[in-house]
Amino acid sequence: MCMKIYSLFKILILSIFTNSFSYGSIEKADSLFYQKNYLESKKIYDSIFYVENQFSNSMLLKMSAIEESIGNYEKAIFYLEIFQKKDDKLKVKKKIKDIVLSKNLSGYDEDNKKTFIRFYEKYNGYLLIFLLIISCFIFIVNSIKFFKKRKAIFLIPFFYTSCALILIIINFKPLKEGIVFKENTFIMKEPSSGSDLYKILNKGDKISVSKDLEIWYEVIIMSEKRYVRKKNIRLIN
């Protein structure tokens, strides 16, 4: 028991120091950015993002601006897409559209399905919590009625409906999206280098990813399953 408490305390202390280090690093990177020392600030931002797996919305916008200024438009749009997934903003959406049009990129067409998925990914956690609270409340009320030998009929249909919705939310996994990071990326008909070539994508194009297959991603193009090397794609998480 003492060892468990010690381990938890150690993890807590380490997390506090890690977070304080990150905030200090971000402040340093921001200072360099405002001094227009973009390459040095980029090194720190990259370390925070890729090594520590931490970022803020303002940091994403700065990283995007830096990458665009040095010609890495695929990275610029990648950071903007992550921003949009966390906090949808009209100005950022317009910026993405400007890059897409200027570079003639594909995969950015919006439809009702994509709009719904974006909405779902943003709010499904809140919906799940709401349904869990309601379900627990109904269960507790009916349990009390049962133990008091009363008929437990309080919102039973809604209880079953909410339970079904909870299962759907937990098990429903929307397609992920990825940005192509390599020019002339081959899309193959099968997950094999010897397979027939289906299509060539350009750097910055966006595609829907349905499955992780070790060194390949299964992607959906024109409602068909195709395959691309994982090293050529960066998932928008």
* pLDDT tens-digit series, residues 103-162: 999 999 877 777 787 788 788 889 999 999 988 988 888 888 777 777 666 677 888 888
153 vs 37: CA distance, rounded Å: 67
φ/ψ of 135, rounded to 5, equals -65, -45
pLDDT band, residue 7 (cuts 50/70/90): low
Q: What's the pLDDT score for residue 16?
A: 44
CATH number at residue 193: 2.30.30.40
Burial status of residue 101 (CB atoms within 10 A of its CB: 0-12, 13-18, 19 or more): exposed
The model's pTM is: 0.76
**For 53-62, what is the mean pLDDT?**
93
Residue 208 clears pLDDT 50, i.e. is over it? yes
Of 171, 186, 201, the residue at which a domain comes to its end is: 171
More reliable by pLDDT, 174 or 232 = 232
> Are β-strands 197-201 and 233-235 bridged in parallel, bridged antiparallel, or unpaired?
unpaired
Residue ranges making up the domain that contains 205: 176-235
User: How many domains are there within the chain?
Assistant: 3
Of 73, 103, 133, the residue at which a domain comes to its end is: 103
- Cβ contact 28:45 at 8 Å: no
- Cβ contact 142:106 at 8 Å: no
Task: Say if residue 158 is in the same domain as residue 187.
Answer: no
Q: What's the pLDDT score for residue 170?
A: 87
